[in-house]
Amino acid sequence: MLALICRDDPDNPPDLRPQTRPAHLAYLASLGGAVKLGGALLSDDGAAVLGSLLIIEADNLEAARLVAANDPY
């Protein structure tokens, strides 16, 4: 298993995350059982989403990077 720490680019437009969320969730669902756990990375006060953490089953680091690269978000 590998952890993907996916930090949002602070220069992204504020509406990018909500606009891409449905496609992002559909993509993760398409990976089936490979996604073991996932969730948001929050600011210290919990008011802002700073990124995501995914725990995935992957054969190697390159396979995990491919999962991240193909994510619509």
Give the start-to-end residue ranges of the domains of the chain: 2-70
CA–CA gap between residue 53 and residue 39 (Å, rounded): 5
Q: Tell me the pLDDT tens digit for each residue of 12-35.
A: 998 999 999 999 999 999 999 999
pTM of the model: 0.83
Predicted confidence (pLDDT) at residue 73 exceeds the cutoff of 90 = no
Q: Tell me the pLDDT tens digit for each residue of 50-67.
A: 999 999 999 999 999 999
- Of the chain, the percentage scoring pLDDT greater than 90 comes to 93
Q: State the architecture of 2-70 in CATH terms.
A: 2-Layer Sandwich (3.30)
